[in-house]
């Protein structure tokens, strides 16, 4: 009887914990939107940061005029997602998350609003890097 009880207990543990090895996932809708990004000074490199570890996209150098970006518009699920990752994903809803870099200036990390059906204009002044 003991071996049977052990097999049952081991099977129950495997069934209970097998889902724990699954990595966090999110399901969401994406929509193309348009932004204009102007920096002072011009010529800064703009990179779009995507959610959930997806590769970033280079958008080019400023000024960027009516550039198409992919934006999260609706989150369907956040399966087994830790709070911190879920919070990061929520910052992407309706927004474009960017990194703007220019030698001699501090890197700008920002979440810029977008609007469906319209081009949203963002003017960003870069701060000089400390010397």
Who wins on pLDDT, 24 or 87? 87
Identify the structural domains of the chain with CATH numbers, from first to last. 24-125 (2.60.40)
Which H helix or E strand runs over 85?
Answer: helix 83-91
Which H helix or E strand runs over 122?
Answer: strand 119-125
Of the ranges 15-19, 62-66, 109-113, 125-129, which one carries the lowest mean pLDDT score? 15-19
The fraction of the chain above a pLDDT of 70, given in percent, is 79
Alpha helices in 1-131 (DSSP H): 2-17, 83-91
Residues 6-33: what's their mean pLDDT?
54
CB 38 within 8 A of CB 63: yes
Closest CA to 46 of 56, 33, 61, 34: 61
Is the model's pLDDT at 121 over the cut of 60?
yes
Closest CA to 85 of 129, 44, 24, 131: 24
CB 80 within 8 A of CB 28: no
The pLDDT value recorded for residue 126 is 97
């Amino acid at each position: 009887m003991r071996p049977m009880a052990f097999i049952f207990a081991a099977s129950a543990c495997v069934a209970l914990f097998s889902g724990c090895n699954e990595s966090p996932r999110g399901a969401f809708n994406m929509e193309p939107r348009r932004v204009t990004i102007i920096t002072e000074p011009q010529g800064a490199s703009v990179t779009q940061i995507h959610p959930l570890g997806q590769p970033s996209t280079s958008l080019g150098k400023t000024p960027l005029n009516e550039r198409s970006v992919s934006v999260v518009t609706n989150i369907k699920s956040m399966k087994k997602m830790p709070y911190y990752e879920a919070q990061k994903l929520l910052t992407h809803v309706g927004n474009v998350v960017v990194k703007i870099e220019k030698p001699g200036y501090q890197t700008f990390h920002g979440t810029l609003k977008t609007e469906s059906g319209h081009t949203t204009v963002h003017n960003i002044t870069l701060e000089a890097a400390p010397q």
